[in-house]
Structure 1
Amino acid sequence: MTAPVRPSARVQLAAVFRKEVQQTVRDRRVMFMLVVAPLIQTVVFGFAVDYEVDRVTTVVVDPDRSATSREDARRLLADGTLRPVGEAGSADAASAAIDEGRASAALVFERRAEADRLSRRGQEVQVLLDGTDPNRTTVTSGAVSRFFAELGERLAREQLATAGATPPAQLRPVPRVAFNPGLETAPYMVPGIAAMLLVIVTTFTSAMGLAREREMGTLEQVLVTPIRPLLLLVGKMAPFVVIGLVVVTLLVGVGTWIFAVPIRGSLGLLYLGTILYLLTTLGAGLLISTMSANQQQAFLGGFLFTIPAVLLSGLMTPILAMPGWLRPLTLVNPIRWYAEIMRGILLRGAGLADLWLELLVLLVIGVAIVAAATLRFHRRLG
């Protein structure tokens, strides 16, 4: 009696790949979550996440009501950072407007603003700010301070010229901003948003997919076939890698079309980084699934992985602003490295010589996670 012929590894891998593709394509909910949802979220988040501060609601307290104070207020409110919403009769009234949420800032001029300036005495303008939003407060304070610093310098030069003295030479910095001259938020945030959405979608999908098959009993049917655990996991990951590459292509296209995100580097290198990144996210999902007895546990495990990963990626908070004891945790966070790869390729035109370290770190993290998932899966089989 002849022994049954064991299919080759290529045939086994192709069979698992084909089964996973058919199962994924048939489930419209999964396809929507994999392809359509990231596109919608990228557009929404791209418009919603904006670090630019403008139109800060401001009340003006001007007891002097002179031409000088009115001109100062008009020029200060002209650039759009501050948006006037009315006047107040006193500093207390302005403070009450901030307390009640009707304004976020208040400009309080002195009663003798024009007389003090004409007599060359010091002039004080009080700025009341709502500190519940530190970013908005810092930008608003900087805009007001910059305006009056430039005004004070101009007045000092005019006074020196009137007195017949030679004004001192001016030193004016001329900033030249590379890669994002307009300092727009979207070109910086959209690559990070793409990295965040990919980890959420792929991790949850892979984690719940294996758990769902275990609940339905189809996993046991696959396990009775002579297929190695590593080939089974690779076959389950491969279709999502292909879908992930398609999703990245769509996200980059949407970012370029809607948010003017440039493409200055090699798309081939971007796809290589995406493959290594998907190796980590899908591997994390499979590892979570091997530790879960049902889909609810897999969902909770995916949530516990993705939320800390996003918060420690540097997308929302700069890594250098984190406490020193927390920064080492970011070194094993794949989102951090993939976001740097995407921004480097799209915004700076970085090449392999610039990003080899990030790619190597993703490779090491991905191999370690997949190896752990394979070992855990093999032990569960035993």
Structure 2
Amino acid sequence: MHPLVVQYRAVVVKEVRQTVRDKRVLVLLTLVPLIQLFVLGFAVNFDVRHVPTAVVDRDGTVESREYARTLLAGDTLDLKAEAHDEQTAEALVERGEASVALVFPQDFQEDVLRGSGARVQALVDGSDPVRSGVAADAVARHAAQRVDRLIQEDARARGETRPRPAVELVPRVLYNPELTTAVYVVPGIVAMLLLIVTTIIMAMGLARERETGTLEQLQVTPLKPVILMAGKVTPFVLIGLVDVGLALGVGAWVFGVPLRGNPALVALATLLYVLCTLGVGLLIATLSRTQQQAFVGGFLFMLPAVLLSGVLTSVRAMPDWLAWVTYLNPIRYYVEVLRGSLLKSAGLGDLWLQVVLLGVFGTAVMTVAARRFHKTTA
């Protein structure tokens, strides 16, 4: 066997034994990511249901009560309180006891029967734009449906046949018919957890060895820096692949994330992504003298990287000048591969650009980190 292979295997075995021996690190690398996946998968939820709603019915007629009853019949809005005036309703919204307040004017039924255009005021709490936007859309959609129903009833009462509209919208949701938040978010959480496991743990591990003097002891051995670096990186690559497999299994079993794509494509993208994150962790470690510095450096990299990756918010929603920055973020490409492959069953022909860019970023970052590691260990 070639001496370099023997040296490489010796370093890998040493790193694996050290990791297995340290129960805290082993738990941090395996069990903690799964716990975080459970917590974040349930905590990050953009599905809007049961929005607390206050009703001010100044008309008090059959029509206003029926309108409010049908509006609150679904699972989007829930009746929280009935107020006597707008000031009381605004106070409920201000205290957070209600997110929406519906105000029916005094002549609501009369305006409906007269056909002069009845109005319902909806006071919406804008401090929570996601929930408020969905609630306001539900109110507007219900109003449009009820107006159409009233027009049809009036036409039938007159013996007229109201023609169907020339254009009828028939929505069909693809890939995520239930519009479940977890199906969209879990692939991004997998990328985020893998970033934590590989980047921060790698950086802190090397910094700890520098503090304890273990790295200096290895420097006096005949090991070449490239073999030493490869041996230290390899266990984290394997741990990253295992973590992704466990996370996707939990995502499919607990959160219903579909696994439609090619597992080989996901494994290839994961390998290239891990090279990117490990390269960043290795680079941070070479720039840090203590574990505290390594942790701070990893955190300062991780926070903007996650925010500019499309994990939680769409890149299309960002300003143009900021969206261009995301092209330098490998997390974006990995998330696109996961969502495209798992949810849409996209293949390499559809995601080849993201895979190539992950390879380019991984090679570039690992090369810079290797040169820096060679200088610090020479």
- Which residue of 139, 145, 156 maps to 1:144? 139
Output one character per residue of 1:158-212: Cα deviation in whole Å (capped at 9) or x when no partner.
Answer: 2233334431322321111111111111111111101001101211111011111
Structure 2 partner of 1:257: 253
In structure 1, give the amino acid aligned to 2:143. Answer: F
Alignment of 1:155-234 (within 5 A): 155-170=150-165, 171-234=167-230
- Which residue of 346, 352, 357 maps to 1:356? 352
Give the conservation status (yes or no) of the 8 Å contact 2:20–2:26: yes
Give 3-state SS (helix, strand or coil) of 2:81's partner. Answer: strand
Identify the range of structure 1 (304-313 vs 169-178) with the bigger mean alpha-carbon deviation: 169-178
Give the Cα separation in 1 of the matches to 2:95 and 2:209: 55
Identify the range of structure 1 (165-174 vs 210-219) with the bigger mean alpha-carbon deviation: 165-174
Q: How many residues align?
A: 377
In structure 2, give the amino acid aligned to 1:97. Answer: L
Structure 1 partner of 2:9: 14
Q: CA deviation at 1:71?
A: 0.8
Q: CA deviation at 1:121?
A: 2.3
Structure 2 partner of 1:113: 108
Give the Cα separation in 1 of the matches to 2:247 and 2:376: 37
Q: CA deviation at 1:91?
A: 1.2
Give 3-state SS (helix, strand or coil) of 1:123's partner. Answer: coil
Give 3-state SS (helix, strand or coil) of 2:328's partner. Answer: coil
Give 3-state SS (helix, strand or coil) of 1:54's partner. Answer: coil
Give 3-state SS (helix, strand or coil) of 1:209's partner. Answer: helix
Whether 1:289 aligns to 2:282 is no
Give the conservation status (yes or no) of the 8 Å contact 2:185–2:312: no
Structure 2 partner of 1:3: none
Whether 1:274 aligns to 2:270 is yes
Q: Once superposed, which parts of structure 1, at least 4 consecutive aligned residues long, lie more than 6 Å away? A: none
In structure 1, give the amino acid aligned to 2:111. Answer: D
Give 3-state SS (helix, strand or coil) of 1:87's partner. Answer: strand
Give the conservation status (yes or no) of the 8 Å contact 2:209–2:215: yes
Structure 2 partner of 1:85: 80
Structure 2 partner of 1:245: 241
Q: CA deviation at 1:157?
A: 2.3
Give the conservation status (yes or no) of the 8 Å contact 2:7–2:227: yes
In structure 1, give the amino acid aligned to 2:80. Answer: V
Give the Cα separation in 2 of the matches to 1:232 and 1:165: 86
Output one character per residue of 1:49-89: Cα deviation in whole Å (capped at 9) or x when no partner.
Answer: 11111111111011222111111101100111111111000
Give the Cα separation in 2 of the matches to 1:48 and 1:381: 43
In structure 2, give the amino acid aligned to 1:226. Answer: P
Structure 1 partner of 2:339: 343
Give the Cα separation in 2 of the matches to 1:102 and 1:350: 45
Q: CA deviation at 1:7?
A: 6.5
Output one character per residue of 1:247-288: Cα deviation in whole Å (capped at 9) or x when no partner.
Answer: 111111111111111111111211111111110111110000
Give 3-state SS (helix, strand or coil) of 1:106's partner. Answer: strand
Give the Cα separation in 2 of the matches to 1:7 and 1:175: 63
Please list every run of 5 or more consecutive structure 1 residues that lacks an aligned counterpart in the other structure: 1-5
Give the Cα separation in 1 of the matches to 2:38 and 2:171: 31
Give the Cα separation in 1 of the matches to 2:35 and 2:105: 51
Give 3-state SS (helix, strand or coil) of 1:326's partner. Answer: helix
- Which residue of 91, 95, 102 maps to 2:90? 95
In structure 1, give the amino acid aligned to 2:271. Answer: I
Structure 1 partner of 2:49: 54
What TM-score do the two structures reach when normalised by structure 2?
0.97
Whether 1:380 aligns to 2:373 is no
What TM-score do the two structures reach when normalised by structure 1?
0.96
Q: CA RMSD in A?
A: 1.4
Give the Cα separation in 2 of the matches to 1:139 and 1:260: 24
In structure 1, give the amino acid aligned to 2:45. Answer: D
Whether 1:41 aligns to 2:48 is no
- Which residue of 25, 31, 35 maps to 2:26? 31
Please list every run of 5 or more consecutive structure 2 residues that lacks an aligned counterpart in the other structure: none
Output one character per residue of 1:350-372: Cα deviation in whole Å (capped at 9) or x when no partner.
Answer: 11111111111111111111111
Q: CA deviation at 1:17?
A: 0.5
Identify the range of structure 1 (225-234 vs 196-205) with the bigger mean alpha-carbon deviation: 225-234
Structure 2 partner of 1:369: 365
